[in-house]
Chains A and B, each alone.
Chain A
């Protein structure tokens, strides 16, 4: 080892104790079995998040969060700023891809029952991250202030307004008034670049720390398995996936750059076929299909309550699935998860294949 390298290590080691991290990384193992493919999705989500952070910070250089300038600034980024089209397209496309991978990550962890003790908190923080990223998507969608996002936000916040007792107050809080306006744009910007990142970093920190300290969960009934080193073997495999995804995102952005769309006109009538972002469409179509009244309760209220209860069920599934906690198979929970997945896929597909269904 050269003397200057020794000097640097001599300076860093007492201050940061890097050797502890190095030793931890050296010792850390990842189980290898026929389901270990699903382990990669967490890392992919992290990579996509980092991509969002980098492109988001770059977009902040030119984006202006006001009704008069938001759309114009996005237009400017797309047409005038060097590589602005790429940065914005990567940001918009990755946002959607990230939400897709988050769903895959969540459902794979659900079906592998990775929420079993002692990983309850890993699951709960993961679920909270999914909610946070949905909020990221919802708030970010409005920021270009274009026609589609404006009316989709109106539709989306109408869903929130249906929640019993707190719905109206919640809707007013989200919108900063009774309607989607300049106040909503400022509020969504505040959420998107300050509040949500702070919470996301905090929860993600806990989530990753737990994954690192508790290690990867093995599916029920998997006995002793082969193991690979986290560093470098697992990291290398994960990074291979990152590279392939990066290449795919690049190609998508070049051939299908994310459009700025026409500027929102609050006085225009709602365009036909308006719908929220794809990851909210299963709720949107449910609300369209639900009957006006079910047992004298408003159908919409019941549906929204159903989603909230479904969310709570998913969040607290580690506490409910007692069989899995005892390392026993729990087919009931697998069936419930499967039903939820099929429902989401079916409703999302219906939104696009039968747009005129329901009301």
Chain B
């Protein structure tokens, strides 16, 4: 009698007859009780800790007892000498990784949606680094980037170039980690772009070809504008990830040498390591506010442009 074409767990079958009688035309066929499991998990794992951390950021605590100290933690966090460098590095890191992922992702996606041999194999190869553990990638690249014995500098030496000290030169440390991050994350951007490009109807390309457009013209006039939703997604996801990035930087340089590749996340982690739990919670609240303050306007801007189209 009921539309049970898919197998249902017993709980749903129990509720379905009741819902059947209460259902009004046009509204959802599922009762609000369906939201309950997801709501419980969301409240327990997201809402409660978020509000708890807002609370604890106003205290000095050592995990078992706390004393309320008002805004002192925030004042101290902003007086942190490494903070200014950490903020600048965070923005540089976020911008570099995000822009490289957008550009390289788009180019790779165009390549991988055209007619080339072993297209499926190449798609898997490009996506493979996304699946790897950041710590594993960090450790392997630290060895490869060793200034004297690392394979990267040895390979450059065979061509006659002297590679820089990737992770120990203060000028290069952050950029080296950003490049490894791009290597690891560009696969995801490519996959999103492939989905975007594949959804463009072929008629546009055929029409353009009949009008005599070169492939570059059709790229700029068809692919790029129509893949805008994919571009918006990639920008937002990679920017959020880049601003919050921690594990790769920690595995490769620990914020070093000195403080030159510190980002906000590693500044916060070091404070947590030293046992300043209230201070690091305040830092996390600040990071949350910074990321929200950047992403919300950006995503409204990008999505509005989409709608205008």
Are A and B co-members of a single complex?
Answer: no
Q: Which residues of B contact A (CB under 8 A)?
A: none
Q: Which residues of A contact B (CB under 8 A)?
A: none
